[in-house]
């Protein structure tokens, strides 16, 4: 398969968005951290699949969400031991800013950080990064909700989950106020 590293489509798309300063702050609310202030302690290399790419070798934007999901699952399993028994987490909101094209020959990883834990949910920021160039290709934000499978309803975050997240992130990420 022929892969164009700097095809005309990619150049035009990249130039069209240069003036936007995209990615400095994924959440428009003032209280959230800027992307530069976040430390991503969880990193998961991704294998790009042949079926993720179009005929020009561009990775389809929908594949990014699969990469993010894989990293989310890895994070919560490693840090919180979720899912466990009757408890699970579900995505309540997902958003992404696509900053640069990913090609099928790129080497990428998903970097993940939990930036805020509330009573029943937490905010998870992720970015897809080219490991060769360190270029951030996409930034994602997800709000995850704790869920009791037996009672079939949302539930408060378990204290041991919150403690494990704070310890892993190296700071207190509990929502203030």
Residue located via tokens 């561009």: 58
Quick: pLDDT tens for 4-62: 444 544 454 455 444 334 444 444 443 345 656 799 999 999 999 999 999 989 999 99
Please tell me the predicted confidence (pLDDT) of residue 21: 41
Report pLDDT for 168.
Answer: 97
Q: Please check the confidence at residue 152 and state whether its pLDDT lies above 60.
A: yes
**pTM score above 0.95:** no
Alpha helix positions (H), the chain: 8-16, 61-80, 159-169
DSSP state of 165: H
**Annotation: CATH topology of 40-169:** Thiol Ester Dehydrase; Chain A (3.10.129)
How does DSSP assign 60-98, residue by residue? Answer: PHHHHHHHHHHHHHHHHHHHH--SBTTEEEEEEEEEEEE
pLDDT, average across residues 154-164: 96
pLDDT in tens, 100-143: 999 999 999 999 999 999 999 999 999 999 999 999 999 999 99
Distance CA 45, CA 130 (A): 10
Q: How confident is the model at residue 87 (pLDDT cuts 50, 70, 90)?
A: very high
Banded model confidence at residue 83, pLDDT cuts 50, 70, 90: confident
d(Cα 41, Cα 99) in Å, to the nearest integer? Answer: 22
Q: Which position has the higher pLDDT, 112 or 3?
A: 112
């Amino acid at each position: 398969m022929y892969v164009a590293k700097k095809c005309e489509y990619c150049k035009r798309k990249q130039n069209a968005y240069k003036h936007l300063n995209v990615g400095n702050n994924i959440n428009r609310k003032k209280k959230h951290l800027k992307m530069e202030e976040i430390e991503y302690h969880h990193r998961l290399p991704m294998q790009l699949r042949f079926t993720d790419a179009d005929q020009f070798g561009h990775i389809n934007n929908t594949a990014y969400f699969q990469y993010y999901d894989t990293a989310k699952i890895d994070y919560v399993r490693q840090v919180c031991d979720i899912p466990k028994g009757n408890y699970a987490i579900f995505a309540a909101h997902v958003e992404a800013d696509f900053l640069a094209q990913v090609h099928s020959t790129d080497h990428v990883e998903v970097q993940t950080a939990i930036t805020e834990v509330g009573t029943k949910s937490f905010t998870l920021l992720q970015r897809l990064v080219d490991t060769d160039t360190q270029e951030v290709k996409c930034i994602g934000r997800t709000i995850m909700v704790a869920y009791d499978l037996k009672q079939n309803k949302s539930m408060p975050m378990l204290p041991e989950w919150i403690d494990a997240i704070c310890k892993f992130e190296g700071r207190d990420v509990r929502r203030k106020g």
